[in-house]
């Protein structure tokens, strides 16, 4: 059937519309096509996107964790205060975790320090043990306390001024030097107020260190050490120090010093 | 016999411990040095007619290292600064480092030793001498046992001044 524009009002109106709005219609068609195309695309793509989003939700830390951690690390390093301040209200939990981790680290380092301290006593033990055997130690244990070694050492240089030795330490000079180094090390690393080490005990062996202005005296004892023995020893050491510091020639005359050590501390004749 | 405390300092790996080993020849466990950062060895050396007992402090790490207690430098009569002829980073700041050792030890002169001679050519040494900001006292090789005894003799002489 043929369409006539004359006999139908509506038709005419349509025609007019067509004529007048031709350009708009063209635009509209383009838009519609585009929209339909997009809808088609959406139907196709949506599941993939959803899947991807689910995957991201689940595996976000895996994909981006490293990058984010790195970024945060750098941020924290570069502007620690600001970052913590900004993060705290939002991510209180995270910050808490971070602090806990830091405290854990601190605890570990304290433990490490204790271990180091322990290993220092191990070093000293080996320095002083010389060539004596464990069997000697066991026998010794039941006996009264005995002075094993006395070292009078120049404080700064660690040079041995004189000594008494019951055992047979291979290299007394080296032992004096090492002991001095250990003292400095311990003073530097462990104590808050630069306090010196004074007593080191392990098993039936004890090392007491008495510090004076220019010298220190290290006494190694073994056996069961009573408080009486300890008190007497301390008195004797102070007497010895007094003698030495009053007459400095002791510090340059090893033989003279050795005999005064023997006389004041060992007293066996 | 007189005894003197002497120091060996210088960057990690330049050969301080090797030089001392070569000179002293008494082995002593490395554990000690890693725990407290120093090891003391002793050796008697004869200078002219005089015998001197050297207590050699092998200070691990550089002198500027905070980990090394300053007290290690006290009471020493001489110090040797060792660098590695084959590694520039061990001597490109040498003047500064030697000055720090001088400050910490209170010593006026430090014996400067370039070690690992076996790894460089004569030409390279000549070149290095021109560029370095300090004069080198001895060129040694702990590996080939070259000039090691002389280096410690120099140190002993310094300790008597
Ligand atoms: N080729 C060569 N290697 C050396 C020499 N002296 C030391 N080394 C090596 O350099 C490294 C570091 O030496 P070491 O004595 O531990 O250095 P330190 O850290 O200064 O005590 C070791 O692998 C040594 O074997 C040398 O004269 N020549
Ligand atoms: Mg070393």
Evaluate if residue A176 carries a pLDDT over 60: yes
Please indicate whether residue B159, judged by its CB atom, sits closer than 6 Å to ligand 1.
no
The minimum-distance atom of ligand 1 relative to the CA of B10 is: 20
Please indicate whether residue B77, judged by its CB atom, sits closer than 6 Å to ligand 1.
no
pLDDT digits (tens, 9 = 90+) for A183-206: 888 777 665 555 556 676 655 667
pLDDT at res. A144: 67
| Cα-trace Rg, chain B | 15
Answer yes or no: do B40 and A157 touch at CB < 8 A. Answer: no
Between A67 and B2, the more confident residue is B2
pTM of the model: 0.66
Answer yes or no: do B35 and A116 touch at CB < 8 A. Answer: yes
DSSP H or E run through B128 = helix B122-131
Evaluate if residue A161 carries a pLDDT over 50: yes
Complex ipTM tops 0.90: no
pLDDT at res. A116: 56
Instruction: Tell which residue, A237, A265, A236, A260, has the closest CA to residue A248.
Output: A260
Domains in chain B, CATH or no CATH each: 2-160 (3.40.50.300)
Interval between CA A155 and ligand 1 midpoint (Å): 31
- pLDDT, one tens digit for every residue, chain B (161 residues): 889 999 999 888 898 988 888 888 654 455 566 667 788 888 999 998 999 999 999 987 654 555 678 888 999 999 999 999 999 999 998 999 999 999 999 999 999 999 999 999 999 999 999 999 899 999 999 999 999 999 999 999 999 98
């Amino acid at each position: 059937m043929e369409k006539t524009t004359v006999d139908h009002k509506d038709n005419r109106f349509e025609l007019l519309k067509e004529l007048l709005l031709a350009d708009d219609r063209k635009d509209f068609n383009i838009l519609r096509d585009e929209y339909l195309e997009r809808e088609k695309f959406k139907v196709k793509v949506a599941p993939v996107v959803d899947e991807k989003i689910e995957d991201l939700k689940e595996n976000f830390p895996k994909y981006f964790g490293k990058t984010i951690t790195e970024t945060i690390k750098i941020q924290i390093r570069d502007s620690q205060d600001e970052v913590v301040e900004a993060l705290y209200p939002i991510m209180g939990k995270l910050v808490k975790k971070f602090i806990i981790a830091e405290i854990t680290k601190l605890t570990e380092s304290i433990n490490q320090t204790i271990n180091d301290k322990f290993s220092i006593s191990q070093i000293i033990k080996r320095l002083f043990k010389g060539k004596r055997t464990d069997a000697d130690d066991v026998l010794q244990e039941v006996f009264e306390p005995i002075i094993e070694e006395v070292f009078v050492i120049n404080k700064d240089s660690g040079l041995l001024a004189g000594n008494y030795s019951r055992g047979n330490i291979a290299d007394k000079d080296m032992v004096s030097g090492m002991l001095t180094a250990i003292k400095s090390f311990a003073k530097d690393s462990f104590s808050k107020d630069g306090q010196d080490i004074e007593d080191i005990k392990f098993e039936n062996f004890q090392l007491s260190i008495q510090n004076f202005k220019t010298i220190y005296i290290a006494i190694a004892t073994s056996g069961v050490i009573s408080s009486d023995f300890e008190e007497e020893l301390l008195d004797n050491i102070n007497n010895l120090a007094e003698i030495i510091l009053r007459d400095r020639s002791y510090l340059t005359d090893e033989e003279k010093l050795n005999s005064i050590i023997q006389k004041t501390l060992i007293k066996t004749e | 016999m007189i005894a003197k405390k002497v120091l060996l300092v210088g960057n990690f790996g330049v050969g301080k411990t090797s030089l001392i080993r070569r000179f002293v020849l008494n082995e002593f466990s490395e554990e000690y040095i890693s725990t407290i950062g120093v090891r003391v060895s002793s050796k008697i050396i004869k200078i002219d007619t005089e015998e001197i007992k050297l207590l050699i402090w092998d200070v691990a790490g550089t002198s500027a290292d905070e980990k090394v207690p300053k007290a290690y430098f006290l009471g020493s009569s001489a110090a040797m600064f060792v660098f590695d002829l084959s590694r520039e980073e061990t001597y490109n700041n040498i003047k500064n480092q030697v000055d720090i050792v001088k400050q910490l030890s209170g010593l006026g002169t430090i014996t400067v030793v370039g070690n690992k001679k076996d790894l460089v050519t004569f030409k390279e040494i000549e070149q290095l001498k021109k560029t370095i900001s300090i004069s080198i006292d001895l060129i040694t090789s702990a590996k080939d046992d070259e000039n090691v005894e002389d280096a410690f003799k120099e140190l002993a002489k310094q300790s008597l001044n």
